[in-house]
Copies of this chain bind each other. A is one copy, B any other.
Amino acid sequence: MSGQQLAGINLMDVKTVCLGMLTDGEASGYDMKKCFESSFGHFFPAGYGSIYPALATLARNGLVEFEQVLQDGKPDRKVYNITEKGREALMEGLANANPAHKLRSEFLATLWFAHLMTAEQIDTVIDNKLAEINEFLEMIEEFQSIECPGTGQGAQFVAGYGKHMASAFRNYIEENRKLLTKPVLADVKSAAG
């Protein structure tokens, strides 16, 4: 039970990711949100409601510092920088030897019960998901992590993961969707009877 070593950071949560982003240089919460949207969000989503409170906590605990930057025409920015204490906390976060990789799929849960759905419903659900996947693949093709601290090896590895897995997902769906709408023997019999 060593617990909360440095200000409550001991795993990969939104706070830790924000710290990590700051190792590449200063940024505002708004900047980080864009980064979550473009690259990070595909495997680790976060909205303003997570990011701003995370930054506030990090600042309270001295893991980041910020300066208020006044802009003409645009709203003020709070530009954050990571501190030495923050770097240490980040290292603790990265030290977890068993980081989770969790899927929560209402999509698969729905299709598990495909036998309770109409063929039209199933087709719609699948077509929509395929469209999503294709959109994602197009996007990942366009900007390979521009405007993010993402030129490193890790970013490449993760982007490659996204591409590889999305393709595998698409292939699986396309090759196996007929399983779901194919009438079962019992139905054929009762239709004939």
Contact = CB atoms under 8 A, between A and B. Distances in A.
Q: Interface size for chain A: under 10, 10 to 19, 20 to 34, or 35 or more residues?
A: 35 or more
A161 interface: yes
Contacts of A160: 172, 176, 179
A110 B128 contact: no
A23 B94 contact: no
Contacts of A23: 113, 116
Nearest to A165: B168
A79 interface: no
A182 to B, nearest CB: 7
A35 to B, nearest CB: 11
B128 A97 contact: yes
A17 B109 CA distance: 7
Interface stretch (A26-34, A41-49, A61-69): A41-49
A143 interface: no
A59 interface: no
**Chain A at the B interface: mostly helix, strand, loop or mixed?**
helix
B154 A111 contact: yes
Interface stretch (A1-9, A70-78, A117-125): A117-125
A103 interface: yes
A157 B23 CA distance: 43
Q: Which 8 residue pairs are nearest across A and B when measured between Cβ atoms?
A: A12-B106, A168-B168, A99-B106, A114-B154, A101-B107, A43-B105, A112-B154, A99-B107
Given A42-B103, A112-B155, A157-B180, 5 more contacts: A45-B104, A115-B152, A157-B176, A160-B172, A165-B165
Interface of A: 11-12, 16-17, 20, 23, 40, 42-45, 90-91, 93-117, 121, 124-125, 128-129, 150, 152-158, 160-161, 164-165, 168-169, 172, 176, 179-180, 182, 184
